[in-house]
Amino acid sequence: MKILHTGDWHLGHILAGYDRTDEHQQMLNQMVTIVSRHEPDVFLLCGDVYHTSQPSAAVQTLFNNTLIRLHDACPKMTIIVTAGNHDSGSKHEIFRTPWEYLNVHMIGTLNKDDLSSHIICIPNKGYVIAIPYTHERNLQDGLLQGLIDEVLAHNVDNLPVVLSAHTTIAGADFAGHEKSDEKVIGGIDAMSVSQIGSGYDYLALGHIHHAQFIHTGKHNVRYAGSPLPVSFDENYEHSVTLVEIDRHGESPVCQTITIDNPRPLTTLPATEAAPWDEVRELLNNFPDDLPNYIRVNVLSNSINPAEARQEALQICQHKQCRFCVFNVVKPDTERHEQTQLTVQEFQQMQPIEVARLYAKDMSIPFDKDMQALFEQTLQALTLDEDQA
Ligand SMILES: [Mn+2]
């Protein structure tokens, strides 16, 4: 069985106010080309089709037209699309029945009343157990193992068994994702790969945007990653994965196919932040004809970000690039000099003193107007408290 494993398309994503439809269109064209060239048995899209649960009509049309093009590029191919945490699971299934006429399976929500509906049999090729995003607790009580066992009981021909899920697996490289700690990524609690169960030949994952294998001793648990970067911190190569499995019990053979990004996300400088004079120079020297998105990291404790940002926008005005983010990074020494207080000291301070210290640490001017505003707010709050 040959599977094209992808996920996290995030169609409809707007980056710093810029519409990304053109890039998405070019990425989707590449998908169609890859399908015509490799003719997979299964096209597996593991969640986060859209960036929001309310994609525009135009974005939904773009996706639906793409499904038709993928089908036409390889009519014998089974297309499986699960919903991710960014998608609306119920909307994902609205046209589930008509799509089945084109061998497209739209799996949006976990159907606990009919779990077998998640098993998709690809005649003479293999099985795919397609699980959409669902709260992690739903996956931790042996539910997946039950489904795997059900497939194995029927799999008399020893065909390959693939499981797909949209979740956070502990031990993955989460670079590029916002995290509250090492356990919760993009709002999904991490689970260990052993909690998923065993007996599958390949676990196709969505949610983490960095393409990677999860270390299990075997190369059979993988995030395909997103085909295009969604944030500036996803500064790694983006691709899809072509997976081939001969028979149940045999190791999958994986090949990554790079997706070209017509508008790369570029951070200036590429590594450490630098003073504005240097960054301005980099921006001035940035080639006029490159359409990249730009983020700058400026090292400073005194800069006026509004003014400097305006200057950056002016420099970019006559270039093809799209200026996005002006990020001010404080020098290390400054950051370390931040005020440290004991709990006792803190409790003895007046609110205005705390505010003054905070403003100093954050390099926010705390002038007479700000002081007056603070006193006013404090008074209003104290009044509220008294009334309550
Ligand atoms: Mn995603």
383: pLDDT strictly greater than 70: yes
Q: How far is the CA of 163 from the centre of ligand 1 (A)?
A: 18
Q: How far is the CA of 25 from the centre of ligand 1 (A)?
A: 18
CA of 232 to the centre of ligand 1 (A): 14
How many angstroms does the Cα of residue 207 sit away from the middle of ligand 1? 4
Tell me the C-alpha to C-alpha distance, in Å, between residue 279 and each of 7, 29, 289.
Answer: 35, 35, 19
Centre of ligand 1 from the C-alpha of residue 51, in Å: 8
Indicate if the pLDDT at residue 41 is higher than 90: yes
Contact at 8 Å (CB) between 2 and 126? no
113 C-alpha vs ligand 1 centroid, how far in Å? 27
Residue type at position 28: L
Half-sphere CA count of 39, side-chain side, radius 13 A: 3
Please, where are the H alpha helices in the chain? Answer: 21-38, 57-73, 89-92, 96-100, 143-154, 193-196, 276-285, 305-317, 332-336, 343-348, 351-361, 368-387
Distance 298 CA to ligand 1 centre (A): 28
Q: pLDDT tens for residues 168-219?
A: 999 898 888 876 566 788 888 889 999 999 999 999 999 999 999 999 889 9
Residues near ligand 1 ion, CB 5 Å cutoff: 8, 48
Mean local confidence (pLDDT), 36-59: 98
254 alpha carbon – ligand 1 mean position (Å): 21
Q: Tell how far the Cα of 10 is from the centroid of ligand 1, in angstroms.
A: 7
User: What is the distance in A from the centroid of ligand 1 to the CA of 146?
Assistant: 27
Beta carbons of 174 and 189 less than 8 angstroms apart: no
| Residue 334 scores a pLDDT above 70 | no
Ligand 1 centroid vs 308 CA: distance in angstroms? 33
pLDDT at residue 146 tops 70: yes
How much distance in Å is there from the Cα of 187 to the middle of ligand 1? 11
Centroid of chain to Cα 16? 16
Whether the predicted pLDDT of 388 surpasses 60: no
Q: How far is the CA of 180 from the centre of ligand 1 (A)?
A: 16
> With contact defined as beta carbons under 8 Å apart, do 8 and 207 qualify?
yes
**Cα 48 to averaged position of ligand 1 atoms, centre (Å):** 5
* 276 Cα–ligand 1 center, Å: 33
Is residue 259 scored above 70 in pLDDT? yes
pLDDT of residue 333: 65
**CA of residue 225 to ligand 1 center, whole Å:** 8
Band of pLDDT at residue 302, cut at 50, 70 and 90: confident
What is the secondary structure of 186-221 as a DSSP string?
TTEEEE-HHHH-S--SEEEEES-SS-EE--SSSS-E
Which residue type does 87 have? D
CATH number listed for the domain at residues 2-258: 3.60.21.10
pTM for the full predicted model: 0.84
Coil/strand/helix, residue 48: coil
| Average pLDDT over the chain, rounded to an integer | 92
Nearest-angstrom CA–CA distance, 282 and 269: 7
Q: What is the distance in angstroms between the CA of the first residue and the CA of the last residue of the chain?
A: 66
What residues form DSSP beta bridges with 274?
298
Q: Which of 225-234, 255-264, 287-296, 305-314 has the lowest mean pLDDT?
A: 305-314
d(CA 298, CA 279): 7
Percent of the chain with pLDDT over 70: 95
Amino acid (one-letter) located at 74: C
Please answer whether residues 248 and 201 qualify as being in contact, where contact means their C-beta atoms are separated by less than 8 angstroms.
yes
Expressed in angstroms and rounded, the spacing between residue 152 Cα and the centre of ligand 1 is 30
Instruction: Report the pLDDT value the prediction gives residue 361, as an integer from 0 to 100.
Output: 72
Calculate how far, in angstroms, residue 50's C-alpha sits from the geometric centre of ligand 1: 9
pLDDT digits (tens, 9 = 90+) for 68-85: 999 999 999 999 999 999
CA of 230 to the centre of ligand 1 (A): 8
